[in-house]
Amino acid sequence: MSKIKKTKKKKKTKIKIDYTKCGENGKVDPRDCGFCMRACDPAVFVMHETIGTEKKQIDPHDPQDWRITPIWESLCSRCFKCVEVCPENAITITF
């Protein structure tokens, strides 16, 4: 009878951005900061206009209309560089 080693599955990484601190209702415009994006070697984050805004006319200079989204969480190496560089402590990583 052959021995089959059970390998533990790597838990999924969950990255959360607090939009009350950055973008949306926060005081930081992610376009002026972007430290998390620059710190992240695997390029997990994207910066984009907020989808579903109720405003009819989007002001491209309004910080509430832009946000950072961790779109490729599966690429995260859990280096925590983004958490360290974020001046607003807006990023939480769990796994």
Residues that bind ligand SF4 (CB under 6 A): 15, 17, 22, 28, 30, 33-36, 39-40, 42, 44, 68, 76-82, 85-88, 90-91, 93
User: 10 or 56: whose CB is closer to ligand SF4?
Assistant: 10
User: 56 or 61: whose CB is closer to ligand SF4?
Assistant: 61
Minimum CB–partner distance for residue 23 and ligand SF4 (Å) = 7
DSSP string, 17-39: E-TTTBSTTSSB-TTT--HHHHH
The answer to whether 44 and 75 have CB atoms below 8 angstroms apart is yes
3-state helix, strand, coil in the chain (%, to 5): 15, 20, 60
User: 46 or 79: whose CB is closer to ligand SF4?
Assistant: 79
Please report, for residues 17, 41, 52, 61, the alpha-carbon distance to residue 91 in angstroms, rounded to integers and kept in the order given.
5, 16, 22, 23
User: 55 or 78: whose CB is closer to ligand SF4?
Assistant: 78
Minimum CB–partner distance for residue 54 and ligand SF4 (Å) = 22
